[in-house]
Structure 1
Amino acid sequence: MNIYNRESNVATNESVQRILDSIEIITRVPIEKLIENRDWGTLNFEGARRDLETIFSLCAHLAALPLDILPDEVAETFFHHLTAANGPVDRVKQFNLDSGNPAGTRDEIVAQLKDQAKKVLTVTQSWIPFLAYQQGDVQRNIKELTAAADRANAIVNDALTFAETKKIEINGIISAARDASASAGVAVFTFDFETQATEMEADAKTWLLVTASLAGVTLLVAVGSFFLPIGKDATNAQIFQFITSKIVPLVVLLTATLWCGRIFRALKHQAATSRHRGNALKTFQAFVKATSDEATRNAVLLETTRSIFAIAPSGYLEGSAPPPEANSKIFEIFKGSAAT
């Protein structure tokens, strides 16, 4: 509600129009064109920039406010000071280098602008807030700020909700990627173990044939040696040589047979171990796909680790089981990894 009665002591339309005309004249030329001009060379009015900005800013405020509610004497004061401020502004517009001392003229105009800016600010600064309040800008700004704050809160809440949703999706993607990576890794290792087992089975068959062949040759040599007679008139040296010639080939063949047999047993042991590891990984993969519980997965992982690293005797080698303390160290390492 206006605190002034429009029927008494308020600015007339003519007074308001004169103020607006003065404002239009002052602000007709932009500040940048008032400060610099190519015809001035190195001279400029940069020192008056702040004062020009003050005058132009006050004019912009006054042009947008309801000046018709001002007291008539205040309106006349505004017009008077705006007219006075237009003087140095007009001098800037008309400035040229034809005068005898352009730099001195420039400095004089800058001083006048500073003085007029101060006077216009002094007479208008206490009325502009009142006019803005009467116009309703304050209430509108408060409402706009409140609405903007509500919109900002809504945007923030939407962003938080979106972020939480995306976080869940990203965690799901990471989990799926981890599971896919684990499954792919398990599949690769399973294939490697099974391939190794197949290759060792083939090598074991080859060494089994070699062992059987050497055993047959050893048997033939032993039988053949048995039927080789010793001369009745042979000397002791000849007898020793004869016996040696029988024993040495048999020892060599028997040793080779046993050595090839050990290689066969070692290959069979390695094949059985690799196939056992492959089967353990297949079991792990099946259990992982069957449950989504992390604790169950960790338990299955530990048992799979136990099956892989705690190698049970295959029956092909004696004393092939690792020491219990070695297995326990491996399990402790994997328990710590599963816990993290």
Structure 2
Amino acid sequence: MGGITYDDLLNATPHQYKSTADAWGKWRDAVDKHGGDLLTVNQHVSGNWDSAAASEAHAFIDAKHLKVQESSRVLAQVESTLTTAYTNFAEAHNKLVQTVQLATANGFDCTGGKVTDTRPATDTKRDSDRATIQQGYQDDIDAALKEATSADSSVATALRDLMPGTDLSSGNDNGTGPGNGHGTPLSAPVDYAHSGSIPVPANASTLAPNPRAQQIINWALTKLGDPYVWGATGPDRFDCSGLTSQAYHAAGIDIPRTSDVQWQQEPSVPAGHEQPGDLVFFHMGNSGPGHVGIVLDPEKGTMIVAPHTGSYVQIQNYKTQNPIGFARPT
């Protein structure tokens, strides 16, 4: 994006930019409401469905809810960025208007952002004084343009970082989103690709407390993006317990094939004391938990998991999914 021109800033209507920030805020509110509706559905499933169906539905809804939460987070950051940027833009606009008014009243012309003296020369001392005043006006105009350009650029940078693929160059949203002269918001969706609902953390290969636990995590990370298939144990498709059993097997630890027997036979770990590589269980049924994942980062509450039919191995937040317990096979 080029810099803001003198005429752009002088004739700007900053309140329109504030309206843009408010529009993104309304969008975020709508996303948050959708997230609340998903939680309501989850509660309905818990109370009315049998354990097998509930387990599958829970996993599906949890995955969708995580994406809703991520969308809400991005929208909130966009709204905050816009509000700050347009506040700075408005201050720059007001500064420019006041400078031009004052300069004009004192006999200077500011056309095109270049300050010139319209009064005839009189004497050397007066000319020197007016030259100093003229330079002061020029400095104020240049500073206002720089501030406005910085505010405008901060929006472009933030949106590109938060929403890869967003087009900010067209200056026309064609009425398809809450944008106002800054391209189409979310013209391409955020690409979660095969990194799961949560990106792989930079320290994923150093999180575990011991080499064997790290082997479990490292092996599971190589399966990100592999499709979920009920009953599958690899090598390139898995269900939830198929992934966990094979991850442990890769580290030289053999554990039962299914989540309920894993829960019954493996040593339990108190909540709050789980470590990377531990098993985390969900959705208690008649014979035991119907879902299981591998703890990745307890501090952030993340796990590696094969969620449900139609999905793939990915990273999710287990703390938002009401885990029923943890285990640490040895």
TM-score normalized by the length of structure 1: 0.29
TM-score normalized by the length of structure 2: 0.30
User: Which of the pair is proportionally richer in strand?
Assistant: 2
Q: Quick check: which has more Rg, 1 or 2?
A: 1
Q: Which has the higher contact order (CA 8 A, sep 6+)?
A: 2
User: Which of the pair is proportionally richer in helix?
Assistant: 1
